[in-house]
Amino acid sequence: MSDYLHESFLPPPRLLMGPGPINCDPRVLRAMSYQLVGQFDPAMTRCMTETMALYRGVFKTKNPWTFIVDSTARGGIEAAMVSLLNPGDKVVVPVFGRFGLLLKEIAERCGALVHTLDLEWGQVAQPEQIEAAIHRFNPKLVALVQGDTSTTMCQPLADIGPMCFDMGVLTYCDATASLGGNDFRTDEWKISAVTAGLQKCLSGPSGSAPITLSSQAVDEINKRRHVEAGIKAAHHTEATGSRISSNYFDLAMIMDYWGEERLNHHTEATSMLYGARECARILLEEGVDNTVARHKQNGDALAAGLRAMGLTLYGEQSQRMNNVVGVYIPEQVNGDRVRQQMLEDFGIEIGTSFGPLHGVIWRIGTMGYNARRSAVLQTLASLEQCLLLNGLKLPAGAAVRQALSVYQ
């Protein structure tokens, strides 16, 4: 056992090529090491305001209410749900992977009546299916996941968002795994509320949940403001529906904190804010579309290399997320043993799977800072070696060569 009192924790060097988290961009780590400033220091409030502006760029939105929920991505989901949904509200959730199930569970915990659109894992929802579900259930909200890392599939939203908007139904999207690595257009697609995290394509650690809210979503949240004696109720007097059951995730309160009033809520997670700001800067400096293209190129190179090894990719490749590839574990090898060798001998982490895909596929990510050629080539070369060591017959050298040809 290490002398934990006298030694600080030194993480082993790893290349994180699973479905998240990934290695942080060193710029983000540097930003997070800066000294704290006070909660209401003008420098701090300026940093918050700048961060809001930066994330409008990331989300491709003009929404004034674009800010950060201080929690991991799951907290962002919960904040959106608990603030938008009254007990008894109807919600439609397409479920085609683990994170669809999470949306269902959180909406149910908010007391909503959830109608799931149960799709086979690996599928995505078609606009007609959503339309039919809206006619059938008349929901207040359609909640969907854009990139469900559990299946590697990317839900198209360009038709569904505007359709829901025209039908008067709010939309919520969990873009945690996809934002920055796949095209996302909040305003053009008319999505009412979107949340994300930093630890996938944004090159940061988990612990910050960027969020953007359309005016429809903000109106809905403001309807439920609870007017309490002694607390200034801002300009919203019509409180309808029930009180938001969470204090920490009450978006009305968090907006008062991020907005001009700067009403105290929680102590800002300052170091995470510095990190989130830097993540957005990195993305916008490269350009959102260029970053997406880089994810696509690296995902394609990884996929080509895996195929060249003779492995079979999981799911319809035309609707795969750019940043994570599912690959069937060859029957001749023990999947966990290969992952363990990858970690112990090569310092590379690749992902296992959940639910019906457990033990069936590995998931390999190329996201954020790790969506780069050297990371992809190292992963392919190491995996090839591990598979050879485990007795699999494959064309040695083909994977890296094939991946390289994608970059040329």
Determine, following the binding rule CB under 6 A, whether residue 114 of this chain makes contact with ligand PLP. Answer: no
Determine, following the binding rule CB under 6 A, whether residue 321 of this chain makes contact with ligand PLP. Answer: no
Map residues 42-81 to x or -, x wherever contact with ligand PLP holds by CB under 6 A: ------------------------------xxx-------
Determine, following the binding rule CB under 6 A, whether residue 279 of this chain makes contact with ligand PLP. Answer: no
Determine, following the binding rule CB under 6 A, whether residue 282 of this chain makes contact with ligand PLP. Answer: no
Determine, following the binding rule CB under 6 A, whether residue 176 of this chain makes contact with ligand PLP. Answer: yes
Please identify, among the stretches 144-152, 333-341, 360-368, 379-387, the one whose residues bind ligand PLP according to the rule CB under 6 A.
144-152
Determine, following the binding rule CB under 6 A, whether residue 248 of this chain makes contact with ligand PLP. Answer: no
Is 363 annotated to bind a ligand? Reply is: yes
Determine, following the binding rule CB under 6 A, whether residue 145 of this chain makes contact with ligand PLP. Answer: yes
Task: Specify the residue, 20 or 299, whose C-beta has the smaller distance to ligand PLP.
Answer: 20
Which of 59, 67, 99, 172 touches ligand PLP by CB under 6 A?
Answer: 99
Please identify, among the stretches 143-151, 313-321, 338-346, 375-383, the one whose residues bind ligand PLP according to the rule CB under 6 A.
143-151
Which of 18, 20, 181, 326 touches ligand PLP by CB under 6 A?
Answer: 20
> In the 3-class helix/strand/coil scheme, how is the chain assigned residue by residue?
CCCCCCCCCCCCCCEECCCCCCCCCHHHHHHHCCCCCCCCCHHHHHHHHHHHHHHHHHHCCCCCEEEEECCCHHHHHHHHHHHHCCCCCEEEEEECCHHHHHHHHHHHHCCCEEEEEECCCCCCCCHHHHHHHHHHHCCCEEEEECEECCCCEECCCCCHHHHHHHCCCEEEEECCCCECCECCCCCCCCCCEEECCCCCCCCCCCCCEEEEECHHHHHHHHHCCCCCCCCCCCCCCCCCCCCCCCCCCCHHHHHHHHCCCCCCCCCCCHHHHHHHHHHHHHHHHHCHHHHHHHHHHHHHHHHHHHHHCCCCECCCHHHECCCEEEEECCCCCCHHHHHHHHHHHHCEECECCCHHHCCCEEEEECCHHHCCHHHHHHHHHHHHHHHHHCCCCCCCCHHHHHHHHHHC
Task: Specify the residue, 110 or 400, whose C-beta has the smaller distance to ligand PLP.
Answer: 110
Which of 70, 78, 89, 174 touches ligand PLP by CB under 6 A?
Answer: 174
Binding-site positions for substrate read 363
> Residues in the site for ligand PLP, rule: CB under 6 A?
20, 72-74, 99, 145, 148-149, 174, 176-177, 197, 206
